[in-house]
A and B are shown apart, each in its own frame.
Chain A
Amino acid sequence: MLRLRIGFVLIAIVLSFFGARLVQLQGVDPQAYALRAAAEGAARVTLVAERGDILDRNGVPLADSIKGKMVVADPALTADRAPEIARLLSDRLSVDYFRTLTALRGRQEGSRYEYVARRVPSTLASDTLAEIDAAGFSGISLQDDPIRDYPAGDVAANLLGYMGTDEPLGGFERTFDEQLAGVDGEATWQSTSGKGVRIPLRESTLKAAQNGAPLRTTIDRDLQWFTQKVLAETVQQYRAASGSAIVMDTRTGEILALADVPTFDANEPSEADEEDLGSRAMNDTYEPGSVQKVLTAASLIDAGRASARQRFKVPGSLPRQDRVIGDWFDHGNIRLTLAGIIAKSSNIGTVLAADAFSPVELVSYLQRFGLGQRTDIGVRGETAGILTAGEAMTSQTKDRVAFGQSLSVNVAQMAAAVNTIANGGVLVSPSIISGSAVTDDGTTVGTDVATRTRVVSKQAARATAKMMEKVVDPEDGVAPAAQVPGYLVAGKTGTAQRVNPDTGLYDGSTSVSFGGFAPADDARFTVYVVIHAPKGDAGGGSTAGPVFSRIMGYVLGRYGVEPTGGKPSRLPVEW
């Protein structure tokens, strides 16, 4: 009996110890122990979502994401052998030796996490890590860090934008970030080592990453490249400040190329001039100059106030109120038809023709052509341009607006307006996103939401196109250099004075432009080129015309558009 009692007492003592420990664990501070238990061998990994590609119209990536790694050091483990590790890392990863050394020793006391290199291609990173392991060093690890690559460098860079260290900083990258970014996932598991080996049957969770959706644009990469090169060559040749060119599919309004010069390499945005990072074509306004005359003429014909053969007596100068309107070429009294006024780009003739319109009538037509309103194609910071309301417009301003001054536009607006003539009088709203996408300010853009509005009658558009054919006529026109051999081309030159943004006054420099379409009798493409502040002897026909011709020739061949074999316009220019 005694032995039994002693046994019970002993057991009771032991059990009471257990009980006390139980109370301590469960009652006093259960959370801390649970956390410690979970932390012991727990691995938590962020599954980085892959950023969606930006594609051209054929699915060729303009921007794509590649698996990359960041190399991370734990100074507590690397500090002792920092110089050796740093030498190996700087050799392999082409990073600065001294910065690496600082990182390996810890930039702050007690630091356990230091970046050594970011956005290292994953193959290189894992090879380097294997080498480090083989050399017996520890404390270096890799984490996912995707790389954004722009395979064609500067092609469409002004539209695509670029990425900062962690966030998009401009262009489509930023506008459509929500769609492109995707959602990071997370995985947790219990692990015995840092090598991703999971303990089976232990708690593990997996929330898969949702990769970003690709953004398909209407850009044609090769055409965009060609447009940029041809434009850059001319901008350089004329030592111009900048230039823009746009290629638009006449029937759908899809923008096949939208080039800006100077541009930048999207892979190295920090090396570029900050002013070159945006899209000048969309963000800057300028006066369109004489290209605008075709809109005035088409409106007049549509309203039945003029016809292509209508005769005008054009004097050498035209006093209007306190100002005198002149032409770019000296002439006495000449007799021009409306076609001749367009072909020779006479300001005076245009003003005389536009006298049939009140300011309100002219402005309402121009508004229907899309001037003064943003195109909302999805390019950041687009300007609406300036078009004074008809009621507030003086007759003097109206005269100038008729031939393209005292109003300002952006490149897509002007191209869409010229395209209306090409498209038989129907304005197709331009688009640069294929399908549809939502911008960061909530606007849905893309070909799915493109609209079509009739602005002028088919006959008016046709008659205007016939007049525009005369512009590239070697005898009657001012821009024979814009011809494309074998094709009927319709176009219009423009030379406008530039307003200095600081003073608000004309600074003596010009913007020369050429807008047109081909084949003139069954238009497929509209090309519009503008070159700002060229030096030397530059004009819409001689400077922008050849650029137009090269781009148009290339795009017609690229899309297999055969010459229509139509008869050239035989409108009289004089009488």
Chain B
Amino acid sequence: MSSPVPQPRTRVTRIAQEAVDKARLSVVPRVRTRAPRVPFVTLVSLVLVGGIVGLLLFNTSMQQASFTAAALETQADTLAGREQTLRMELDELRDPQRVAMQAQQMGMVIPPAPVFLDLETGKTSGVRTPATKDDAIQLVPPAPPMPAVLAPAPTVVEVPPAAAAPEPVVEEQAQATERRKKNRDR
């Protein structure tokens, strides 16, 4: 610390003293600055409430979607069923037997042999054979004959020449014919 040049030393000491004075730390009074709590709490609660409400809404909407899905599924099922039923009806309408019945009722028959008409030349090939009623095919098999028990032979009553008895006989025969007709219709 000793210096060969004492003079300037005094000055230096003074400056140092000042610096030391300046640099001395002193206790500053404590200032408590609180960050405002309200915004944070509000934010957190908002997030929470938002989340919960969102979750609730999401859940509800999923539940709703599930109900809608179930309803739509049922509807799709019903519609698919209806479509298939309709297609079945269509197929039954296309049944060759049904078409033939109607065609034959309208007087159409399937010809025994085809004849071709060339649209360009107007010429026909094949032998032109008239399609007649005889070409109609039997579409419904005839009813099997009734067993004798159910279709007894008509009772024939000898009519006395001068009596007024013919009425019941005619009636009986008519009934028998009627009955046979009915059988045929079956």
Contacts and interface: CB of A to CB of B under 8 A. Distances in A.
B97 A67 contact: no
Given A123-B81, A197-B67, A229-B137, A487 B113 contact: yes
A174 to B, nearest CB: 23
B69 interface: yes
A200 interface: yes
A556 B81 contact: no
A145 B139 CA distance: 34
Contacts of B59: 200
Nearest to B115: A486
A155 interface: yes
B84 A66 contact: yes
A557 B69 CA distance: 53
Interface stretch (A230-238, A344-352, A355-363): A230-238
Best-buried of A121, A126, A151, A225 by chain B (most CB within 10 Å): A151
A272 interface: no
Interface string A163-189: 000000000000000000000000000
Best-buried of A121, A198, A549 by chain B (most CB within 10 Å): A198
Nearest to B96: A225
Contacts of B65: 200
A196 B129 contact: no
B70 A563 contact: no
Contacts of A549: 112
Contact of B85 (A61, A121, A233, A236): A121
Contacts of B67: 197
B88 A66 contact: yes
Given A66-B85, A486-B113, A562-B125, A151 B137 contact: no
B85 A556 contact: no
B88 A563 contact: no
Contact of A197 (B66, B110, B127): B66
Interface residues of A, number: 44
A152 B113 contact: no
A553 B114 contact: yes
Interface in A338-391: none
Nearest to A68: B81
B78 interface: yes
Interface in B139-185: 139, 141-142
A444 B98 CA distance: 36
A122 B113 contact: no
A62 to B, nearest CB: 10
A152 B91 CA distance: 8
A198 B70 contact: yes
Contacts of A123: 78, 81-82, 85
Interface in B97-117: 97, 100, 110-116
B115 A122 contact: no
Interface in B55-94: 59, 62-63, 65-67, 69-70, 73-74, 77-78, 80-82, 84-85, 87-88, 91-92, 94
Contact of A486 (B66, B73, B126): B126
B144 to A, nearest CB: 10
Contacts of A554: 110
Nearest to B62: A200
Interface in A224-262: 225-226, 229-230, 232-233, 236
B26 interface: no
Best-buried of B63, B126, B142 by chain A (most CB within 10 Å): B126
Given A122-B84, A486-B129, 17 more contacts: A60-B94, A126-B81, A151-B94, A151-B95, A152-B91, A152-B96, A155-B97, A221-B96, A226-B96, A226-B137, A229-B100, A486-B127, A487-B113, A553-B111, A560-B116, A562-B125, A562-B126
A-B interface, 10 closest residue pairs, ranked by CB to CB distance from nearest: A557-B114, A122-B81, A151-B91, A486-B127, A486-B126, A200-B62, A225-B96, A485-B127, A485-B113, A553-B113
Interface of A: 60-61, 64, 66-67, 121-123, 126, 149, 151-153, 155, 195-201, 221-222, 225-226, 229-230, 232-233, 236, 484-487, 549-550, 553-554, 556-557, 560, 562-563, 565
16 contacts: A66-B87, A121-B88, A122-B84, A126-B78, A149-B91, A151-B95, A199-B63, A222-B96, A484-B113, A486-B113, A486-B126, A486-B129, A557-B114, A562-B125, A562-B126, A563-B125
